[in-house]
Amino acid sequence: MEKLKYDKPVISRITAGVPSKFGLPSKQKIISEIDGIPVSRLIEEYGSPLFVFSEKTIRNTIAEAKQAFETRYPKVQFAWSYKTNYLDAICNIFHDEGAWAEVVSGFEFEKALSLGVNGSQIIYNGPEKSEEDLELAINNDAYIHIDHFDELYLLMKITKKLNKKARVAIRVNMDTGIYPMWDRFGFNYENGEAWNAINRIMLAGNLELTGLHTHIGTYIMAPSAYAIAATKMANLFVATNRKFNHWMKYIDLGGGFASKNPLKGAYMPGSETCPSFDEYAEHISNAIISSEIPHENLPALFLETGRALIDDAGYLLTTVLANKRSSTGRRYLVIDAGVNILFTSFWYNLGIFPSKPVSDYMEETTIYGPLCMNIDVIRDVVNFPHVKSGDQLVIERIGAYNVTQWMQFITYRPNVILTDTEGNIKIIRKKESMETFKNSENKNI
C-alpha cells in the first residue's frame, strides 16, 4: 500500500456532511495536464515558472468567435490585436486563421511586416505615430486610424510630400451608456468632432476615408453597449454617403470583449457573467443590419478582439517555494512566479490550481510571488488546499497581456512554450540568459 500523504493539522470550518447554507463542500479543481501533456513533465523539461499556450484552444476559440459573427453578418474580418500578445508564433496562428494585424506602434507594425503580413492587411491604431511610422504605413498601404487632428494634419503633410494616397479611418469615441466612458482616444461623436474630422478628410485630396473605428472600453460586460456604438457608427456611415456620395468600406468595433477571468471586486465568477461571443455578435449584427445602411452597401465588420481570444489559451506553471504563517495566523504561500511576469494579477482574481490531488482541507491563503517587493501579491485571499514546497501549481487564463506587459526584474524571464495541435511541444520564446543583456548593454562609458 502506498504511503498516505501527510497533512499538517489545521483548524477549519466543518464542511462535510449535509449541505449548509453555503451549499455542498466545494471540490478543488485540479489541472494536471495541458492538452494531454502532464504539468510535471513540462516543468521538468522547460523549467519553472513556465508559460504554456495551447494551439488547440486558440484555434477553437477563434473558430467559435468567427462562427458567432459570420453566421450573423455577411462580411466579418478579425484583426489580431498585437499588444495583447505579440509572440511571433501566436500571431502566426491568428494570421493562419485569417486574421489581419492590428498594431499600435511602429514596433508592432514592423513586427507584423516581418511576419509576412501584407501591408494592406494591417490596421494601425494608437495615439502615437511618428512621421517615419506614418510613412512606413502609407508606403505599405496600411489602414491608418487617425486619433487626433494633429495626426490628421501630419498625414496631410506627409501624403503631399510622398504624393501618395493614404487609406485612413477615424477613431470615434462616444457615450454608449457604460461607465467609465472612454473619451481620451479619437474624436468624440456627441460633440460633433468626429463629423468634423470626416468632413476634413473627405475634402483632403490625398486621404481615402475607408472606415470608422471605435473602441468603447475594455472588459465590457454589456453587449448592448456595442449595439449603441454600432448604431452611432452606422449613422456616421450613412451621413457620409449622404453628403459625399461615398460608401466607406468598414466599421471597426475594436475589442473589449470580456474574458472569463473574474475582475477584482466582482461578486460572481467570470465564467458565469462573461457574455458569449454569440451575445456580442447578436447585438452588433442586428444593430448594423437594422440601421439605415442598404443591404448591398453593408460595410465589412472589423473586430480587434484580443483578450477574449487568447486569455483561455495561456497557462502559467509555477512551483511552490514555501508555506508560512502571518502574524495573524493567515496562511501565506510563496510561489516562483511574481507580478513582474503576471501583470494581469493586478486586475483579476486569477484562477490558481494544484496540478495533482491534494487534501480536501481548504484554508484562506494569501499567495505571494518570489520578488522581494511588497506589491508582489498574486492573490490577496483565496480558499486554497494545503500544498507543500516543490508542488506544482497552474494559473489559468493568462494568455492576454502578460507576455507583452511583463518586465524583466531581478531574474530572467522564463520559457514560453506552445503545445501544438499534434501534441508536440515547441519553445516559442526562449528563457533569457546573461547573453540577452550582454548583447544590448555597453559597460565602457
Partner 1 sequence: MILITNKGKDILFSILNSYSQVFFSTSKTLALFLVVISFFDYGAGIGGLLAVIVANSFAWGLGFNKYLLNSGMYGFNALLTGLGVGLFYQPSPEVYILIAISALTCFIFTVVFQGVLGKYGLPYLSVPFLITIWIVALSSNSLSALNLSERGIFFYNELYSLGGNTFINFYELLEANIKSSFIRIYFHSLGAIFFQTNIFAGIIIAAGILIYSRITFVLSILGYTTAFFFYKFAGIEFDSLGYTFIGFNYILTAIALGGYYLVPGRVSIGWTILLLPAVVLITISSRQIFMLFKISPYSLPFNVIVLTFLYALKLREQRPRNLIETPVQMGKPETNLYLYSRNIKRFPAAFPVSAILPFYGEWTVSQAHNGEYTHKGAWRHAWDFIITDANKNQFKNSGDLPEDYYCFGKSVLAPADGEIAGVVDNIRDNTIGDVNTKDNWGNTVIIKHNDYLFSKLSHLKFQSVKVKPGNKVKKGQIIALCGNSGRSPYPHLHFQFQSKPYVGSGTIDYPLGQFLVRGNKGYILKSFDYPVKDEILANPPINEVLEKALHFIPGRRIKISVETESSKIKWKKMAGVYHWNVDTDIYNNTFISCEEHNGRAYLYNNGDMHYFTNFSGKKYSPLFWFFIMLYKVPLGFLPKSRIIDSLPVNHLFGGILKILQDFAAPFYLFLNADYQLTIIDGGDIISSGNVNMHTQVTKKIAGKKIKLCVSKLNINQQGDFNISIETKEAKIRMICQNELE
Q: Catalog residues that contact partner 1 under the rule CB under 8 A.
A: 59-60, 63-64, 67, 69-77, 98, 100, 118, 120-121, 141, 143, 167, 210, 249-250, 282, 289, 295-296, 300
Q: Which is nearer to partner 1, 64 or 175 (CB)?
A: 64
DSSP 179-195: SS---SSSEESTTSHHH
Cα 404 → chain centroid? 10
Q: Which is nearer to partner 1, 109 or 250 (CB)?
A: 250
Q: Which is nearer to partner 1, 56 or 429 (CB)?
A: 56
Cα–Cα distance list, 373 to 317, 340, 368, 376 (Å)? 21, 10, 10, 6
Min dist. Cβ of residue 121 to partner 1 (A): 6
Q: Which is nearer to partner 1, 298 or 398 (CB)?
A: 298
Min dist. Cβ of residue 55 to partner 1 (A): 13
Q: What is the CA radius of gyration of the chain?
A: 25
Largest CA distance in the chain: 84
Min dist. Cβ of residue 302 to partner 1 (A): 9
Min dist. Cβ of residue 70 to partner 1 (A): 4
Residue labelled with grid coordinates 479543481: 29
Sequence length of the chain is 445
Are 93 and 58 a contacting pair, CB within 8 Å?
yes
Beta pairing partners, 272: none
DSSP letter at 391?
-
Residue labelled with grid coordinates 468603447: 216
Min dist. Cβ of residue 225 to partner 1 (A): 21
DSSP 34-86: ETTEEHHHHHHHH-SSEEEEEHHHHHHHHHHHHHHHHTT-S-EEEEEEGGG--
Grid cell locating 99: 486574421
Q: Which is nearer to partner 1, 71 or 130 (CB)?
A: 71
Min dist. Cβ of residue 285 to partner 1 (A): 8
Q: Which is nearer to partner 1, 51 or 69 (CB)?
A: 69
